[in-house]
Structure 1
């Protein structure tokens, strides 16, 4: 059983978002939330909200096995590049340089460990 949450067009560069996502990937949800609470970066707040949304999606999923939030763990987390806002900064002698304010699309997938009941069984070998 998996549940997914996405934050699109987040105003944080993907490189900085990936650094925060590395801290929570593969860990339990409770441990991940504690880690994010102690991480004082701008991206940690966005990723905390996104992780809470993914957990809510898992708990409210129709036709799925009832799970506790303590059983869930972060199966996958990634940040892809979104569109960049292009700005210009005036420089000396009438020149200008381009500033790219990068955005990102962040995705978090939570689910049950493979051995837990309610998880999908392994595919049969032919």
Structure 2
């Protein structure tokens, strides 16, 4: 077996060696599970959002970190970026089919956690 990022079992079934540091799948997992990656995917689960709408939906994220996270998720093919040629340009972000597939279990996890937590004291 050749050492590297990808091990091919046969032409129709590609497996990635995610424990190898040079595996491209590992980078995608790192981006998805980053501090802000999860929140971006969950925030975009129901609708496309513009940058500032997305920033406002994720309390605590800086514009710099949101921009970096979005760049990584767009590059990975999880998020699509649509630019309308207006002045100033309007940029909208949404999930790709791949992003929806990856985001679904994250949404399930989020829903399970919020449903199981004890009720908050509304002081």
Larger relative helix fraction: 2
Which has the higher relative contact order, 1 or 2, with Cα contacts under 8 A spaced 6 or more apart?
1
